[in-house]
Amino acid sequence: MSLIHEAFAKAKAENRAALIGYLPAGYPSRECAIECIKAMVEGGVDIVEIGLPYSDPVMDGPTIQDAVDISLAAGTKTADVMATVAAVSETGAPALVMSYWNPIERYGVDKFASDLQSAHGVGVITPDLTPEEACDWVGATDKAEVDRVFLVALSSSDERIARVAEVTTGFIYAGAVMGVTGARTSLSDEVRGLVDRVRKHSDLPVAVGLGVSTPEQAHEIAQYADGVIVGSAFVTAIKQGGAAAAGELASALASGLGRV
């Protein structure tokens, strides 16, 4: 059982969903990002998703794009992402990287998986990599014993969900909204149906993200999903109040993850 699966199993044993928190490496600075993520873990984040800053983040909304731009302007490189993973892994929380495919391909598919393993990273979320194009990635991550996370959307057919399930090893990321990331005031009623459809094709944990920002939304999703993913809300909290605000948000979100 991987560290990702252990985190989900622990949450399930406590009758709650796991909390997955996202932050781009290097935001608002490399050192502060690490400090903020550690505060998020102390506040209740079970699994950490560290973003690899990229100049063309097609799935990211304005909040995360702004954070990524700040990180890139400061010169954040893939090596800095790996260093952030290594520092975060010391907390004991599983650390994943979220990266678009182009930076991984440029870095070297095998080298990326191997270096992540060396940094004690446990998985990679690849939002724009399709299962049909993932052959090299499957081989590299299998060799490095790094988990793969692929995405499904509200528009995904059962055939597409089944194909994603075949290549995923960590958890399946279910998008709660159509479109880019960013906090929403409400989430689609179709999300629960998407999670149910995923479970027909896979026994892996299913985590819901894209648009989740409040304890109330987290609580709603926790009633049917294995994990709740929050990103833009953490970026906003850090912009307003640094690590302390990140920890407070994590605590507030974690308090609503119990199942009734």
Burial 207-225 (b: 16+ CB within 10 A, else e): bbbbbbbbbebbbbbbebb
Query: Do residues 69 and 236 lie in contact, with contact meaning Cβ atoms separated by under 8 Å?
Result: no
**3-state class of 183 per DSSP?**
coil
CA dihedral (108, 75, 36, 79) positive or negative? positive
Which residue of the set 35, 46, 60, 226 is catalytic?
A: 60
How crowded is residue 251: how many other Cβ atoms within 10 Å of its Cβ?
A: 17
Which residue of the set 6, 35, 46, 49 is catalytic?
A: 49
E-state strands within the chain: 18-24, 47-51, 95-98, 123-125, 147-149, 151-152, 172-175, 206-209, 227-230
Active site residue 49: yes
| Integer Cα distance of 135 and 125 in angstroms | 15
Active site residue 66: no
| Integer Cα distance of 35 and 39 in angstroms | 6
| Integer Cα distance of 154 and 55 in angstroms | 26
Q: Which residues are catalytic?
A: 49, 60
